[in-house]
Amino acid sequence: MIGKKIILASALLGVLAFGGEQFAMSDSDRAMYAEMLENNPADILVESGNEALAEFCGGDAGLAKFLGVSEDDLPAYIAGFPRYVETLDMVAGLDQVLQALMAQNGHKPFALKSGDMFAMSAYAKSIANEEKINIDVTANEQMKAAYALGDEVFNTKRGGRGLSCMSCHSSAVIGSVLRTQPLPDLGSEANKAGATWPAYRMTKSSLRTLQRRFQGCMNNALLAVIPLGSPEMVALEVYVTDKAKGREIAIPGLKR
Amino acid sequence: MSRLLLLSTTFGLGLAFASDISSAVESPDASKIIAKDLLGPAKVFTMPKGCITDDKDAIARGEFIFQNLNGSKVKGKLPAGLAKTQMVQGKTYAPQDEIPPKQYGNCVACHNIEGAKGAGNIGPDLTSYHDLFIKSGARDNQFVYQKIADARIDNPNTHMTINLTTGLFTEREICDITSYIVSIKN
């Protein structure tokens, strides 16, 4: 056990040390990251999400029924979110589906920004673990429109510094260093954002969703933060998830 | 209405309950937030008189704005004439209200320069700028001023931040930053 951890830690050291002082991870950070890879602190939160789904939504079976699929087909179906949900007549994130399901079962839905919802939607997405992202952005008019809107929001320069998501996540700058952070390729196997959120964020010591991560970038880059669940936010999730299409889902992710 | 009916038959529930389901889903509109936040068209700016200076305080302010993100992270003393907080224009504050941090340039996130800590490399290295670019005549002060004020005039597809068109800084502050970059550093 300990031996394996040491191997992991030195493997990571190899990956992260090339930039020397420039990178923000200290030796102790690296050791912590290695430890967390084995034992993601969010596992327990995902488990509590599982319990909440059972209590408020009828568990996996209740979710499958609401989505109109068999329990066997549920993992592959979840791997296609966000998707157009006919009963809600909107392109919805999993969290919004869970809100509807809670209400249908006579419970007051968790707020989208609540830790309870982060945990429950993390569990719901983890049902699709080991499935490949299969979002279809041309499936219907609604998905086409959501993708187009996501593309637009991603490319719109705004805020106090006149930046867009594209300013830092275009192929032209991927791999460059912003302050001490290498700019990640959102669709690459190493990051595959759409397949690894909800994730545990070490710098925030908490479980966060992809939309919550977007808010973090908006906040840092001085773009006005838009609310979770807004059509624009869901569209961004569609757009960013599509970049990781075909990549294997692994929830909860572990991020810096 | 027909959608609600459809919902209620799907679930075999009462109509009122079905409408609860739709309204239970948070889906706030963000279009107005984005519309208010949009970047205006690219703008040409000309340096005001006395813009470039070797005044120590001005250069110190320029350096500080270059190296720091915002006032909430600052420990210790600031250069003369620079604040840690800044009220938002047009907003009224009660005595107990917290005044938001003043934003600085965080230029070091993308540029290396003399004495930079944890510099990024998205933009060009600005070390020895005076010797390499000003003395050689490759650049002049007005170019640097415009670049910082609105980089799109030089490069419409720039990845650089826009600093004067957005109103993030005053003319004087852009002058301070420019003075710092073109100054001879030791």
Q: How many beta carbons lie within 10 A of that of residue B5, not counting itself?
A: 11
- Say yes or no for a CB contact (<8 Å) between B20 and A223: no
DSSP assignment of A99-130 equals: HHHHHHTT-PPPPTTSHHHHHHHHHHHHTTTT
Residue among B26, B106, B167 whose CB faces A229 most closely: B26
Confidence of residue A7 (pLDDT cuts 50, 70, 90): very low
Residues of A with Cβ-Cβ distance to B34 under 8 angstroms: 153, 156, 158, 224, 226, 232
Range scoring the smallest mean pLDDT among A11-20, A194-203, B57-66, B130-139? A11-20
Q: How big is chain A, counted in residues?
A: 256
Query: Which has the closest alpha carbon to B48: B186, B173, B184, B183?
Result: B173
Contact A161 B165 (CB under 8 A): no
Instruction: Look at residue A150 in the predicted model and tell me its pLDDT.
Output: 97
Q: Is the pLDDT of residue B8 over 70?
A: no
The DSSP annotation for chain A comes to -HHHHHHHHHHHHHHHGGGGGGSS--HHHHHHHHHHHHS-TTHHHHHHHHHHHHHHH-HHHHHHHHHT--TTTHHHHHTT-SEEEGGGTEEE-HHHHHHHHHHHTT-PPPPTTSHHHHHHHHHHHHTTTTSBP---TTSSHHHHHHHHHHHHHHH--BTTTTB-HHHHHSTTTTTSEETTEEPP-TTSTTT-HHHH-SEEETTTTEEE-HHHHHHHHHHHHTPPPPPTT-HHHHHHHHHHHHTTTTPBP-SSEEE-
Is B162 in contact with A88 (Cβ distance < 8 A)? no
pTM, two decimals, is 0.88
Instruction: Write the pLDDT tens digit of every residue in A19-70.
Output: 333 345 677 777 776 777 677 888 899 999 999 999 999 999 999 999 999 9
Predicted confidence at residue A5, as pLDDT, reads 38
Residue A159 and residue B165: Cβ atoms within 8 Å?
no
The rounded distance, in Å, linking the Cα atoms of A252 and A207 is: 8
B106 touches chain A (CB under 8 A): yes
- Find the Cα–Cα–Cα–Cα dihedral B104, B106, B111, B112, rounded to 10°: 90
Residue B19 binned pLDDT confidence (cut-offs 50, 70, 90): low
Nearest CA in chain B to A108: B24
d(CA A83, CA A68): 13
Distance from the B10 Cα atom to the nearest Cα atom in chain A, whole angstroms: 8
Looking at beta carbons, which residues of chain A come within 8 Å of B165? 162
Say whether residue B5 is in contact with chain A using an 8 A CB cutoff: no
CB proximity B162 to A under 8 Å: yes
Least CB–CB distance from B103: residue in A90, A167, A222: A222
ipTM score here? 0.88
Compute the distance between CA of residue A36 and CA of residue A256 in angstroms, rounded to an integer.
Answer: 11
Contacts of B161 in chain A (CB under 8 A): 161-163
**Residues of chain A contacting B106 with CB distance shorter than 8 Å:** 179
Chain A residues with beta carbon closer than 8 angstroms to that of B122: 168, 173, 176-178, 183
- A96 Cα to chain B: minimum distance (Å): 6
- Does the pLDDT value for residue B14 go beyond 70? no
Distance (Å) from the alpha carbon of A181 to chain B's nearest alpha carbon = 8
CA distance A119 to A109: 13
How many CB atoms are located within 10 Å of the residue A37 CB?
13
Task: Tell which residue, A44, A60, A48, A69, has the closest CA to residue A117.
Answer: A48
Contact between chains at B161 and A161 (C-beta distance less than 8 A): yes
pLDDT at A228 exceeding the cut of 50: yes
pLDDT over 80 at B43, yes or no: yes
Nearest C-alpha in A relative to B18 = A104
CB contact under 8 A, B34 and A24: no
All structural domains of chain B = 40-87+99-182 (1.10.760.10)
Write the DSSP string, B127-176: TTHIIIIITTTS--HHHHHHHHH-GGGT-TT--S---STTSSS-HHHHHH
Please indicate if any CB of chain B lies within 8 Å of the CB of A24: yes
Inter-chain CB proximity A226 and B30 less than 8 Å: yes
Per-residue pLDDT, B146: 98
Contact B25 A233 (CB under 8 A): no
Q: Which two tokens stand for residue A162?
A: 């006149």
Tokens 């191997």 belong to residue? A7
Task: Express each pLDDT in B82-125 by its tens digit.
Answer: 999 998 888 899 989 999 999 999 999 999 999 998 899 999 99
